[in-house]
Amino acid sequence: MEEAQKPETAQAAENDNIPAMPYKPFYLKTKIEDMMKYGKKAVASFPRRERQTADEIRATMLKMYELAIMIERKYYKKTTLQELDTHLEILRHLVRLAGDKDYYDDRVSKRDGSGRVVKDKDGKTVYVQMQPPLPAKKYQVWSGYLDEIGKMIGGYMKSVKG
């Protein structure tokens, strides 16, 4: 009769030698996953001229994910947390640069589908204003993800130091 009153997790723990505690996800890794899902879609819409910036952003996101997995598995986490914090700051700067209107305030010659420079009826080159590859709304959302991750890293760093 006592066995019938035990919770299911305790019975499973006795039967399978599994800890009674349910799996608790590592929230920092989960937040980084969410940020990567959003960032991958945002970077995919970058124009060809910004492929290098897009590649750097992708590489930094992957490195952050790798470091989060390492933190989840390591006993001594201080140096890995510091490295993750550094990569977060690099990613913040890259995202800020991708959304900065002043950085992309250049005039460039307009090109047609075959890559030739477009001329107006007087024979003068037509110029267009370059827009940043990351629109303001996407920048705001992405910055929100980065701020949340930064707060979590700061909290983990305090707990490791303390």
Contacts of 1 (CB under 8 A, 6+ apart): none
- Model pLDDT, residue 162: 66
Annotate the chain with DSSP letters as a single string: -HHHHS-HHHHHHHHH---SSPP---HHHHHHHHHHHHHHHHHHTS-GGGHHHHHHHHHHHHHHHHHHHHHHH-S--HHHHHHHHHHHHHHHHHHHHHT-TTTT--EEE-B-TTSPBPB-TTSPBPEEEPPPSS-HHHHHHHHHHHHHHHHHHHHHHHHHH-
Tens-digit pLDDT profile for residues 100-140: 888 776 777 777 888 788 888 888 888 877 788 999 999 99
pLDDT grade for 19, boundaries at 50, 70 and 90? very low
- Model pLDDT, residue 11: 45
Tens-digit pLDDT profile for residues 91-102: 999 999 999 888
